[in-house]
Amino acid sequence: MRPALTATAFLSCVLAACSGVRDIDVVSPYVAESPYTGSDITHDFVLVHEQSRLGGGPRLYMTGTVIGGRTAPPPDPQRIAAQAGARGISVQVLSDDPAMDTAAGRYAESLTAAAAYAVAEIWPGRDARAEFTIILVEPGVRLSRAGWRLRRPGEAWRLRFYLETSELDDASRETWKAGGHVHEFYHLLAAAARVGLSDRRGAGPDAGFVYEETAAFLYEHCAVLSALGAASNAMSPGALLDSRRFGDASGLPESVSGPLPDEWLTHVARLLEAAEQGANPGSRIPLIDAIRLTLWSEISGGSWTIEAGTPQAERLLEVCRRVAPDPFEVRALIEELAADGVDAPPLPPRPRHAGPPPPDAGADAAGTGAAEPEAGAQPDAAREDEA
């Protein structure tokens, strides 16, 4: 086990040309304790180190996974169970168990297809080559592993995540995880382009965070929809906004669940506008969940699933292409929907196969929010400002 290294220490080493330093894995399953330990929470994340002195976009970034199981994880497998590649995207799945090869192969193809579609069709024109390494682990491990990566100009992004084998037992969960890995990749692209959370036009990081998480959510679903034929939002958390959290009830009901009606959307747009000026929007994880669910319901017409080739798919792609390059468009979109005179349609009960929403961490774990939003209020895409 190597000791954890801070971004600043790693960067100092890189700048001092420490020989051969390229990646530092932070393998600390019981050091970087997750607050979710002991639950079934899975949480993939990226973290970008801001390098203002270097300019030219982020070069130092972290990718990793937290799984809140109970069993100590075995050493990482070294065996390549499957690989796939297309359009500058490559995916390698590692597993020591040959019985997983078929599922690993399917996952490598799905993730490659989704990411390749995203970089070529949703937000083209980026230097968006990426190498994904997906490490299969038995269900129930407790694991917190991440690694700092250095990306020199012209190099591919390298993303490394852990995936429980049980996620590959069910096609809808498998698709969901592939979307989640594309989602994390979007955060790196957004940081490189200085949009969303890195956008300095607004004073408030909360607004950038809400916008970037919404853009990442749309990006992953557009990628999955177009590459794999359909996208489902049935595993996202529900939306419950409690007006008391915002300090200004404005005569609104105390809470609302499900897609937000126009009256609430108008309120959300005002909160976001204030957040752009530096105000604290109160509770950003439920806010993100509510925005995601409402946009989904508006676009899908009240269905959990959108099939490729439908008018709903066209609408979703249109929104993705608008929001991915500029997540601040989310507020304009919300304002348009709030003013259209038609409330977001309600969604039917969740499909049985989806099971309960995964109670993963905050805005993300594979693009989901927490079932108890405040408990899991942790950004999946953090920025670490230079010391």
Q: How near is the Cβ of 70 to Zn ion at its closest, in Å? A: 26
Q: How near is the Cβ of 247 to Zn ion at its closest, in Å? A: 26
The answer to whether residue 380 forms part of the interface with Zn ion (CB under 5 A) is: yes
Contacts of 178 (CB under 8 A, 6+ apart): 107, 110, 111, 114, 224, 228
* CB of 144 or CB of 303, closer to Zn ion: 144
Distance CA 158, CA 61 (A): 9
Q: Which of residues 310-329 bind Zn ion (CB under 5 A)?
A: none
Q: What is the b/e burial string over 136-153, where b = at least 16 CB atoms within 10 angstroms of the residue's CB? A: bbeeebbbbbbbbbbbee
Q: How near is the Cβ of 220 to Zn ion at its closest, in Å? A: 9
* CB of 113 or CB of 381, closer to Zn ion: 381
- The two three-digit tokens of residue 324, written as one number: 């991915």
Residue whose C-alpha is closest to residue 344's, from 282, 286, 266: 266
Distance CA 86, CA 154 (A): 18
The answer to whether residue 44 forms part of the interface with Zn ion (CB under 5 A) is: no
Contact status, residue 259 vs residue 298, Cβ threshold 8 Å: yes
Q: How near is the Cβ of 183 to Zn ion at its closest, in Å? A: 5
Contact status, residue 290 vs residue 213, Cβ threshold 8 Å: no
Mask for 334-373, x = binds Zn ion (CB under 5 A): ------------------------------x---------
* CB of 14 or CB of 291, closer to Zn ion: 291
* CB of 239 or CB of 381, closer to Zn ion: 381
Q: How near is the Cβ of 212 to Zn ion at its closest, in Å? A: 7
* CB of 216 or CB of 316, closer to Zn ion: 216
Q: How near is the Cβ of 138 to Zn ion at its closest, in Å? A: 26
Q: Which residues pair with 241 in a beta bridge?
A: 256
Segment contacting Zn ion by CB under 5 A, of 34-42, 71-79, 108-116, 378-386: 378-386
* CB of 11 or CB of 157, closer to Zn ion: 157
Contact status, residue 366 vs residue 360, Cβ threshold 8 Å: yes
- The two three-digit tokens of residue 303, written as one number: 């269905």
Q: How near is the Cβ of 114 to Zn ion at its closest, in Å? A: 15
* CB of 298 or CB of 380, closer to Zn ion: 380
Q: What is the b/e burial string over 304-318, where b = at least 16 CB atoms within 10 angstroms of the residue's CB? A: bebebeeebbeebbe
Q: How near is the Cβ of 340 to Zn ion at its closest, in Å? A: 27
Q: Which of residues 239-268 bind Zn ion (CB under 5 A)?
A: none
Contact status, residue 159 vs residue 133, Cβ threshold 8 Å: yes
Using CB atoms within 10 Å of the CB of residue 356, give its burial: 0 to 12 exposed, 13 to 18 middle, 19+ buried: exposed
* CB of 149 or CB of 267, closer to Zn ion: 149
Looking at residue 119, the DSSP 8-state letter turns out to be: I
- The two three-digit tokens of residue 330, written as one number: 């989310």
Mask for 193-232, x = binds Zn ion (CB under 5 A): --------------------x--x----------------
Q: How near is the Cβ of 160 to Zn ion at its closest, in Å? A: 17
* CB of 84 or CB of 215, closer to Zn ion: 215
Q: How near is the Cβ of 180 to Zn ion at its closest, in Å? A: 9
Q: How many residues bind Zn ion (CB under 5 A)?
A: 5
Contact status, residue 194 vs residue 364, Cβ threshold 8 Å: no
* CB of 59 or CB of 292, closer to Zn ion: 292
Q: What is the CA radius of gyration of the chain?
A: 20
Q: What is the b/e burial string over 368-382, where b = at least 16 CB atoms within 10 angstroms of the residue's CB? A: bbbbebebbbbbbbe
Interface residues with Zn ion (CB under 5 A)?
A: 213, 216, 364, 380-381
